[in-house]
Chains A and B, each alone.
Chain A
Amino acid sequence: DTAVSQTPKYLVTQMGNDKSIKCEQNLGHDTMYWYKQDSKKFLKIMFSYNNKELIINETVPNRFSPKSPDKAHLNLHINSLELGDSAVYFCASSQESGVNEQFFGPGTRLTVL
Chain B
Amino acid sequence: AQSVAQPEDQVNVAEGNPLTVKCTYSVSGNPYLFWYVQYPNRGLQFLLKYITGDNLVKGSYGFEAEFNKSQTSFHLKKPSALVSDSALYFCALNDYKLSFGAGTTVTVRA
A interface with B by C-beta (< 8 Å): 4, 33, 40-45, 48, 56, 58, 90, 92, 98-99, 101-107
Contact = CB atoms under 8 A, between A and B. Distances in A.
Contacts of B96: 56, 98
The SS class assigned to the B binding surface is strand
Contact of A98 (B32, B38, B90): B32
A103 B46 contact: yes
A43 B45 contact: no
A37 B64 CA distance: 26
Given A99-B51, A106-B42, A41 B88 contact: yes
Interface bin, chain B: 20 to 34
Given A45-B97, A98-B32, A101-B49, A106 B43 contact: yes
Interface of B: 32, 34, 36, 38, 41-46, 49, 51, 88, 90, 94-100, 102-103
